[in-house]
């Protein structure tokens, strides 16, 4: 039996282990935030943002950012229907209404024209999710935001290393959020980051992140507001510092794996993968294959094929509007169509060329068999 190929796993070296051990041994008392402060400082420098707050999750960063913008009961927040539930959960927790709009067929990211079409007097924010490392059209979205006065938020959970016309994903909107979950290119096990260039918004979120205790408050244990507890631990931040020192290596390897898949699958008809357009860089967090409807290849076929070959494969996100907790069923054609003919391919730092060959060959063999079956059935029907 061949070894199982996992869809993702982190790259942890001696550097991460040494930093975590040092934080565990010395990061207490007066030094309890040493690695945390360093991680925030180095991450904002890498991103080119003015302010950064390390959090316990990307979801927590989104929750606090939306709360700081005043999102609440009766408000509407526009976001892509193609999304993980973590993006919509904070909207619901704050009492606002999520408005699901369709995505573009090529990037699988939010369609700016659909955003504009769904703006109402109740619209409080627009969330741009950079899916699988693919980039939203930030020029179009920021133009809408500037013209309407509606803040554009970047959900860059999956986009470390992605660049839009010289600006890193997450650094362009009113605020950006990142995930450092164990599956991500840069990991702290669990964790996230809130980033912004708005000093006032930063202070609001900083207060919210620490039980509502304002930074300038001189009274000990005196909260100035009802806040949250979404802080990252110093030990997690130590791992993050080590990962950030290796960020170019980590992102470049992701990009190499995507490129390797694209070369191997290039001759396969009816397939598209993560795009990279002029003057952009795709961080390539999750290489994804999407088949044209005419191929007849489905998600279930690919899942079964990969399971038989002892290979992990992740399904493309189901549309949020398909989930039972939401009543709205908008006609978002791409968001509903793409998941049924798409699959996320294995991608991790130490993946060998032989592993990539095996994944690609499995997909090629399955597709060839399906195309042969389709052509045979067509000849028999004539």
Rounded-to-integer distance, Cα 247 and Cα 89, Å: 29
Count, residues in the chain: 382
Non-local CB neighbours of 255 within 8 Å, separated by 6+ positions: 161, 281, 282, 283, 284
Is 219 designated active site? Answer: no
Query: Do the beta carbons of residue 132 and residue 344 sit within 8 Å?
Result: yes
Count other C-beta atoms under 10 Å from residue 269's C-beta.
10
Q: What angle do CA 352, 357, 363 make, to 5 degrees?
A: 135
Rounded-to-integer distance, Cα 10 and Cα 16, Å: 11
**Lookup result for tokens 């420098």:** 45
Nearest residue to 261 (alpha-carbon basis) of 367, 361, 360? 360
116: tokens are: 């504009």
From residue 280, how far is each of 10, 145, 244 by CA, in Å? 25, 21, 21
Rounded-to-integer distance, Cα 12 and Cα 17, Å: 7
Nearest residue to 334 (alpha-carbon basis) of 118, 102, 98, 131? 102
107: tokens are: 């990037």
Report residue 166: phi and psi, to 5°.
90, -5
Helix (H, G, I), strand (E, B) or coil at 252: helix
* Distance from the first to the final alpha carbon of the chain: 43
Non-local CB neighbours of 272 within 8 Å, separated by 6+ positions: 106, 289, 290, 292
Distance of alpha carbon 49 from the chain centroid? 18
**Of 44, 124, 184, 231, which one is the catalytic site residue?**
184
Would you please indicate which residues are annotated as catalytic (active-site) residues?
184
């Amino acid at each position: 039996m061949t070894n199982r190929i996992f869809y993702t796993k982190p790259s942890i070296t001696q550097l991460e282990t040494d930093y975590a051990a040092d934080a565990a041994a010395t990061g207490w008392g007066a030094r309890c935030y040493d690695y945390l402060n360093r991680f925030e400082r180095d991450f904002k420098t890498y991103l080119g943002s003015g302010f950064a707050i390390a959090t316990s999750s990307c979801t927590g960063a989104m929750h606090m950012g939306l709360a700081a913008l005043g999102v609440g009961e009766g408000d509407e927040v526009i976001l892509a229907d193609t999304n993980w539930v973590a993006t919509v959960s904070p909207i619901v927790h704050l009492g606002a209404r999520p408005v699901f709009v369709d995505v573009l067929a090529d990037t699988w990211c939010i369609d700016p024209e659909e955003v504009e079409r769904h703006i109402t007097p109740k619209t409080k924010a627009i969330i741009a999710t950079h899916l699988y490392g693919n980039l939203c059209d930030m020029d179009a979205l920021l133009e809408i935001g500037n013209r309407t006065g509606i803040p554009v938020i970047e959900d860059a959970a999956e986009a470390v290393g992605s660049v839009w016309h010289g600006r890193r994903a997450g650094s362009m909107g009113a605020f950006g959020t990142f995930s450092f979950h164990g599956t991500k290119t840069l990991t702290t096990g669990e964790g996230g980051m809130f980033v912004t260039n708005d000093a006032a918004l930063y202070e609001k979120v900083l207060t919210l992140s620490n039980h509502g205790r304002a930074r300038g408050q001189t009274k000990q244990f005196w909260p100035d507001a009802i806040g949250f507890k979404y802080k990252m631990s110093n030990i997690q931040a130590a791992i993050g510092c080590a990962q950030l020192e290796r960020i170019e290596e980590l992102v470049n390897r992701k990009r190499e794996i995507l490129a390797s898949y694209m070369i191997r699958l290039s001759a396969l008809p009816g397939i598209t993968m993560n795009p990279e357009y002029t003057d952009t860089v795709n961080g390539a967090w999750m290489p994804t294959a999407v088949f044209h409807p005419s191929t007849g290849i489905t998600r279930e076929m690919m899942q079964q094929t990969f399971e038989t070959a002892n290979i992990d494969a992740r399904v493309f996100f189901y549309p949020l509007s398909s989930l039972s907790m939401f009543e709205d069923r908008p006609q978002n054609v791409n968001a509903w169509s793409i998941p049924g003919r798409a699959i996320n391919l294995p991608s991790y730092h130490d993946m060998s060329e032989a592993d990539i060959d095996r994944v690609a060959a499995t997909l090629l063999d399955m597709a060839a068999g399906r195309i042969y079956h389709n052509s045979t059935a067509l000849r028999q029907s004539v």
